[in-house]
Amino acid sequence: MPDIIFNPYSTNPYGQFHCDTASLCPVSKALLPVIRHFLNALLKPKTMGWRFAQTSAVGTWGEGRGLAIAYCTQQFLSAVLMCRPVPLSFNDPLNLGLREEMKGDEAAMLSLLSAMRADETAQARACVLYLTQGQMRAPVVQSALILAKRLEFDTSGAGPRKKPVLRVVE
Amino acid sequence: MSKTNLNRCENREPQVREINRSAAGFDAAEDTLLTIARCFFQSYAIPDSQSWMPGYDIAEAAFGDETGSMIATRMFTALRAVRYSRRSMFCFNSPTCACCAQVVTEHERRLMQALQSIRCNYTGRAQTELMMLCEGNSVVQVIDAMIRLSNVLPSRVEQAYVDA
């Protein structure tokens, strides 16, 4: 089951989707600041937020995998933004007071990735349609699937990949 | 830190202390790294260009998904170290102008020769180039960052090294 099920009708008039981030699975929880920093970078280029996004991903998943996840996240967000006439709404990643709340668009993105990892096609389709405002665009689906695949190896929760234990084989 | 060359670029010839890219003796990895570095410079000089994105795209296409991102990030760390050490402008050519991209500025040349030297284990020579680039300021951080970068780059063919 996906850890977050997004319902577009549950957002309040201010676009806040009341979801306790503490209830998210470790993967979604770790991905949220990466998404927020990248959105900051993409929508406000002078913030250079992509550096913080990468630092956050490296801190969670280690250098190689973290940077690859960050790259896939950036591709996914770029694809979503390309097919929307309005920017995505998101909370400031540097605002401590807003860390426990999510905007509707953030919740939809996490729900989409969570649904793809859990193979919940109907939920994933609803989230794509919400994010792209009714258009089923191939680049969005493709980039989301690539990111979901990158994330799905994490079965024991987010954390740097453990090095394999070496043993002498006789 | 960075300033792009906005001169007329039609039939642009190398100016004083500039060289042609084809004569710089870069191997494939260094040639790609120069383009990636230019994307990052452009991102600093014109933030709205969002040039860091093509920088990562180029790295990913040339070196693979995990290694590409790692190489681009380590290159960026090295450039940031140069940025902290060097006080004056860093002149670079646009990565998107086909004509200008074929010319290597003096600062780019010193940066790339330092990296070339580190890849060939000529640390002393790299230090000299970086001291010139960083105007005599400390280059310890830059060398550390370049060594970390060279550790993830494919090995260089010794014969291809051009002692410019």
pLDDT of residue A99: 80
To 5 degrees, how large is the angle CA B159–CA B40–CA A83? Answer: 125
Count structural domains, chain B. Answer: 1
B84 in any annotated domain? yes
pLDDT bin (cut points 50, 70, 90) of residue B50 is very high
Q: Rounded distance, CA A111 to CA A4, Å?
A: 5
pLDDT of residue B46: 92
Calculate mean pLDDT across residues B58-87.
93
pTM value? 0.82
Min Cα separation A46/chain B (Å):
6
- Tell me what ipTM this predicted complex has: 0.80
Residue B135 has pLDDT above 70, yes or no: yes
pLDDT in tens, B97-109: 888 888 999 999 9
Ranges in chain A, pLDDT < 50: 13-14, 155-157
Torsion over CA: A149, B64, A49, A82 (sign)? negative
B104 in any annotated domain? yes
Domain interval for residue B51: 16-154
Q: Would the CB atoms of A67 and B73 count as touching at under 8 Å?
A: yes
Interface of B with A in 39-58 (CB under 8 A): 43, 47-50, 52-53, 56
pLDDT of residue B164: 43
Is residue A136 classed exposed, middle or buried when 0-12, 13-18 and 19+ CB atoms within 10 A define those classes? exposed
Q: Rounded distance, CA B140 to CA B81, Å?
A: 9
Torsion of CA A136, A36, B71, B80, to 10 degrees: 140
Calculate mean pLDDT across residues B5-30.
79
Residues 6+ apart with CB under 8 A from B128: none
- Residue A62 region by backbone torsions, left for phi larger than 0, else alpha for psi between -120 and 50, else beta: left
Q: Rounded distance, CA B134 to CA B77, Å?
A: 15
Nearest residue, CB atoms, A65 vs list B47, B53, B66: B66
B162 in any annotated domain? no
pLDDT bin (cut points 50, 70, 90) of residue B13 is confident
